Structure 1
Amino acid sequence: MEATNQDRIITLTLNYTNGKQQEFEFISSAERVGEQANLGTRLHKFLTADPIIIELADKLVVIPIHNIESLEISPIPSKLPDGVFHSMREIKK
């Protein structure tokens, strides 16, 4: 997957309840009109979906939401769904 200077590679990390982890990537184009706002909307739909469905180049991956303990998206999209706590810091113990 190659990104141009105006593209951002977004990484989605799924942490499963069985302790396994799986990562996916997609390119978010800064050139597309409204792409960042659209990314926030897509993120909200993704987080409320059951099951989560991911299209890869050669297959469709269907993941029941009850198998996911947590997920991480990096870098942070500029437009986020309502209800997100902003400017937080993780405290490691």
Structure 2
Amino acid sequence: TCYRITEGMTPDALDLMRQGKIHLIINTPRNTGGAVLDGNMMRRLAVELNIPFVTTMAGARMEVLAIAEAMDGIPEPRLLEIGTL
């Protein structure tokens, strides 16, 4: 458990990121001032610390699938199909 960054209490997400306790961030904030500010600060630190940062549910689903596949061993390469415009 951690506090929101804008609450000014510890530990917050930034503290846990710096301590190496967070290895993946899935952040789908509401468009409110505090949530946006927290997200911006987490994103900036995530880039500095090389922590993957996902901001959409579609991206989160893909991360979960990729992690599950990686746990089964090295995945086989697949053709990426791109829809026609």
TM-score, normalised on structure 2? 0.26
Q: Which one has the bigger helix percentage?
A: 2
**Which structure: greater strand fraction?**
1
**Could you tell me the TM-score, scaled by structure 1's length?**
0.24
Structure 1 or 2, whichever has the larger Rg, is 2
